[in-house]
Structure 1
Amino acid sequence: MFDYEAALRACARGDRSALQQLYEQESPRLLGVVQRIVRDLALAEDIVHDAFIRIWNRAGTYDQTRGSARGWIFSLTRHLALNAVRNNARHVQMEPDEEGDREHGAIDGWQEQTDAFDWRVNPGRVEACLEQLEPVRRNCVFHAYVDGYSHQEIAQRLGAPLGTVKAWIRRSLTALRECIG
């Protein structure tokens, strides 16, 4: 079993082979996660590269009392991907006549895709399931998945401990899966 904490400690000491081992262990999974977020392979590859540079430079800041080493790596990478999406959304400008064509094409593509949950058959089900969550937990889910905030950003906004926010989101998603299921 791979020892992520030991690899991060070694990176903090300047051991390049530890970074290489970490890269070989996790880069394919990290690339998959990032690609699902940014939906662009070239950008995803750049973000994973940047993530490993950041892992190398910040390995000494990892605190095992705040979570697992692997979780820290994935969180750092996910945050870079979300920031890239936010930054790209601010900079993307479309020509006025292209905008309507793309919007129409996106709607057509969306209608053609099959969904694991048929929204037309059960339109109020998700809303009803969300209503069953405590307001603070529902807000955490919205902040994470609608607003795109990181767990750290949510914790800061709410003035709650990071671990608590992560637990609220995890439990809320489990409850939503069971309710919708």
Structure 2
Amino acid sequence: MPIDETELVASYRRVEHPLYNALYRMLWDAQECQDVLHDAYLRLWQRKRRVDAARIDALAWTAALNLARNQLRWRRLRGWTPPPEALDAIAGGDDPQAMAEHSRLHAALQRLPAAMLEVVLMAEFSGMGTREIAQALGVPEGTVASRKHHAVLRLKQWLGGH
């Protein structure tokens, strides 16, 4: 059954904050995250006749993550990196120790393979459960658990056990 405007708005309200959190740790650019989030929902609305209301949240995650991956590919092709102000804004800008920790986190997250990064961001920064992540990514729950486990091990190693 196709979705209507109220279902789309309700999904946006449920998903906006956790999805934005995950996108921000992928892209490190607030405006770009907003653009990706809105583009994902625009795509859902354009395909409203084919979107099942029961899967709208998972489809929003899938669309947004695909758009973010495309942004990252374009960045690599252009040689673009986020400005240092992006990391300063996260850390508050005044505390050198907090800024250093955020820089280390940013560097460690960027070292993860894309599949692991998505799972970690969805689990740790968006508070999603294994089942929700599996539905959004279209992979088995065991795959999600495995990716998360290996990603956390790598991050602990790279960040010194924190």
- Normalising by structure 1, report the TM-score: 0.47
Residue deviations 1:33-89, cap 9 Å, x none?
21111100011111111011012123444579xx95433321221111111111122
Size of the aligned set, in residue pairs, is 115
The amino acid that maps onto 2:25 is R
The amino acid that maps onto 2:70 is N
Structure 1 gaps of 5+ residues are 1-8, 95-101, 103-108, 120-140, 147-161
Question: Who wins on radius of gyration, i.e. which is larger?
Answer: 1
Q: 2:40–2:67: 8 Å Cα contact kept in structure 1? A: yes
User: Residue 34 of structure 2 is aligned with which of 29, 42, 45?
Assistant: 45
User: Residue 139 of structure 2 is aligned with which of 163, 166, 169?
Assistant: 163
Residue deviations 1:1-40, cap 9 Å, x none?
xxxxxxxx4xx35x22222222222222222221111100
Aligned mates of 1:27, 1:172 — CA distance in 2: 24
Trace 1:10-29 onto structure 2 (pairs within 5 A).
Answer: 12-13=2-3, 15-29=4-18
Q: Residue in 1 aligned with 2:75?
A: 88
Trace 1:1-181 onto structure 2 (pairs within 5 A).
Answer: 9=1, 12-13=2-3, 15-62=4-51, 69-92=56-79, 112-113=100-101, 142=113, 144-145=115-116, 163-164=139-140, 167-174=142-149, 177=152
Residue deviations 1:85-110, cap 9 Å, x none?
1112212369xxxxxxx9xxxxxx9x
Q: 2:116–2:147: 8 Å Cα contact kept in structure 1? A: no
Aligned mates of 1:43, 1:63 — CA distance in 2: 27
Higher relative CO (Cα under 8 Å, sequence separation at least 6) belongs to 2
Change over 3 Å in CA distance of 1:60–1:46 after alignment to 2: same
Residue deviations 1:121-149, cap 9 Å, x none?
xxxxxxxxxxxxxxxxxxxx846248xxx
Aligned mates of 2:80, 2:149 — CA distance in 1: 38
Aligned Cα root-mean-square deviation (Å): 4.0
Structure 2 gaps of 5+ residues are 85-96, 118-137
